[in-house]
Amino acid sequence: MTNIHPTAIVDAGAQLDASVTVGPYTLIGPHVKIAGGTTVAGHVVIEGHTSIGRDNRIFQFACIGAANQDKKYKGEPCELVIGDRNTIREFTAFHVGTVQGGGITRLGNDNWMMAYTHLAHDCLVGDNAIFANNAQLAGHVEVGDFVILGGYTAVHQFVRIGAHGMTGLGSVLLADQPPFVMSEGQPARARSMNYEGLRRRGFSPTRVAAVKAMHRALYRDGATLEQSVQRISALAESSPEAAADVALMTDFLARVTPQRGIVR
């Protein structure tokens, strides 16, 4: 394996594809698996039961797969699973899961994780997300596809962020953020929907109009959450092209708990 720098320490039990590149002074533990095409820079630590997919770029000083920061954790063989084609920048910290939380912390595919971002135990992040510098997830957080977290966003444990959502700089999320919503503030409040992001991803005018109708139902008409769900569900019939977007919203809202609620 000529792609491993001579100063790197790779445990004999680690499973690295022959095409993986490892930089100087990097440490890789015995339970680590890395698929082909992934590049690991210098001064990186990858440990724990960590699986990393293809064609990822991991920059210097990242801490991947360390024991989590849950005081209940007793060293059980929980996992960190990272998909394909992710960019993981400097000083990021991703931790393994806990037995109580399902045992897995997961990062999907094609995500862009900027410097100092943090995935705590049992977080589940989808695909094509962007975490700006210092975005922080507490434990058990779920993040949907195409989410953008502004710099210094902090997310409370067990909070969910729906697909295509966005947060502003320094936002503090204490409640679930439904799909398509843009929020900001401390605590974060819903400001609008991510219309420009949807257009850039190829949403048709009809689909964008349906998202605007969902916004009115949730935030403009003074309806209860139950009433809002009924109004949003009806959009699937009036706008068949947006049926999948409506289902994305109603499925998310069906899991909202009274204790957590949604950003308002």
Sheet with 154-155, edge to edge strand ranges: 9-10, 27-28, 45-46, 63-66, 93-95, 118-119, 136-137, 154-155, 172-173
Catalytic residue, chosen from 49, 95, 118, 121, is 121
Rounded Cα distance, 28 and 146, in Å:
30
Catalytic residue, chosen from 70, 122, 176, 245, is 122
Rounded Cα distance, 115 and 93, in Å:
9
Angle value at C-alpha 165, between 159 and 169, nearest 5 degrees: 85
Q: Is the dihedral of CA 235, 240, 243, 245 positive or negative?
A: negative
Backbone torsions φ then ψ of 171, nearest 5 degrees: -70, 150
Catalytic residue, chosen from 139, 144, 151, 162, is 139
- Whether 121 is catalytic is yes
Rounded Cα distance, 192 and 228, in Å:
16
- Bridge partners of 48, per DSSP, are none
Sheet with 124-125, edge to edge strand ranges: 15-16, 33-34, 49-52, 79-82, 104-107, 124-125, 142-143, 160-161
Catalytic residues: 121-122, 139
